[in-house]
Amino acid sequence: MSVNVEKRTEPPGEADHATEAWELKERIRSAEGVLRQRRGFFVDAYRRSTTHLLVENDEIVAFASVRRDGYILFLAVHPDHRGRGHAERLIADVAEDHRSVTCHARTTNTRALGFYEHLGFEVVRRIDDYYEDGGDAYYLKLGGESLRERLSGFVGR
């Protein structure tokens, strides 16, 4: 059976899928203890960013909200849809639209750090007490043009 994953983009100022994105993010937070934000912060940041969405059967399976400078505010993939290249596809979309792609990740989030390292992100610096709960973060930056070419293969999916 073939699965059709539709790509959608919400520009800044639109938030048609903000509630559904929040619910996906909260599901991940509850299960994995990551992606902790207050709802007001999340919705405000979502509205100000461009959000790339992957949708299957009218349900968000993955999304990335990105500031206009290429900073990834949120990246989430539904747990039942991981391992299908969705996060890589979203990062490729962001890399295609921006000269620089950056993000933060918790120093304790080994899954995210491994993913970003696999794609070619490099740790620029560590920031102690970055998160509201006192958690530390790494500031990461996507390196190299050759990586952009490698990621561009995901865009065509």
Q: Which CATH superfamily is domain 6-155 in?
A: Gcn5-related N-acetyltransferase (GNAT) (3.40.630.30)
Phi, psi angle pair for 151, to nearest 5°: -70, -25
Burial 106-142 (b: 16+ CB within 10 A, else e): bbebeebbebbeebbbeeeeeeeebeeeebebbbbbb
- Average pLDDT, consecutive stretches of 10 residues, N- to C-terminus, the chain (157 residues): 81 94 90 78 93 94 96 94 93 92 94 92 95 91 66 53
pLDDT given for residue 157 in this prediction: 47
Residue written as token pair 């290249």 = 85
pLDDT given for residue 104 in this prediction: 95
- Sheet harboring 137-142: ordered strands across? 102-106, 137-142, 121-127
Angstrom distance (rounded) from CA 20 to CA 23: 5
pLDDT given for residue 44 in this prediction: 93
For the chain, the structural domain boundaries read 6-155
Eight-state DSSP code of residue 8: E
pTM: 0.86
pLDDT given for residue 35 in this prediction: 64
Residue 89: how many CA atoms within 13 Å on its side-chain side?
23
pLDDT given for residue 24 in this prediction: 93
pLDDT given for residue 148 in this prediction: 55
pLDDT given for residue 146 in this prediction: 46
Angstrom distance (rounded) from CA 136 to CA 149: 32
